[in-house]
Amino acid sequence: MPPYRVIALGDSLTYGYPFGKNMSWVEYASKELKTPILNQGVNGNTFREMLRRLTIDVLDLKPELCVLLGGANDVYQGVSQDLMRSNFTKITELLEEGKIRPLVGLPPPVEDEVFEKELAKFRRWLKSFAKEKRFSTIDFYGPFIDTKKKKLNAACYEDGVHPSSKGYQGMAKAAIKVLQEALE
């Protein structure tokens, strides 16, 4: 059996920026599930960069599951929706070819309204893509919304983009639910 049943591929939100991997959602979920999860989050990565490092960081390690989370850096760098979708689709196709089940992470919201509009568009596409492909989704969006006030929960952010410790713990809770089912 490979050393990791689960690998998390992503950007700074997977890595755990600004705290580091020890305070990431990946680490919190790994401890709670008592299952090692390899954190392959790289700060600043777009889907194109994740695609470039997919073979070494995921495919060669042959996990059962790969949590795929990204999109914010693509939006901030002005990557088109078509290219984001194309790169994301290619990653999931390569995972499936490698007999690795993709789990689709829905990116958390960002405070900047212009960027959030673009990210929301991508999030909607991710939901329909995951449904069509029968991939499980992890709702990393929900933990950042104050349901009473119907707006972003400021306590979940360090800087309007990156989660606070509370934000990462919320992300972990969302991941744990889906991962428990997927690992059974």
Flag whether pLDDT at 14 surpasses 70. Answer: yes
CA–CA separation, 51 vs 167, rounded Å? Answer: 26
**pLDDT average, residue stretch 103-119:** 97
Residues in Cβ contact with 32 at an 8 Å cutoff, skipping those fewer than 6 apart: 172, 176
> What domains can you pick out in the chain, each with its CATH number?
6-183 (3.40.50.1110)
What are 122-176's pLDDT values in tens digits? 999 999 999 999 999 999 999 999 988 889 999 999 999 999 999 999 999 999 9
pTM: 0.96
What are 35-80's pLDDT values in tens digits? 999 999 999 999 999 999 999 999 999 999 999 999 999 999 999 9
CA–CA separation, 33 vs 19, rounded Å? Answer: 21
Name residue, tokens 């069509």. 132
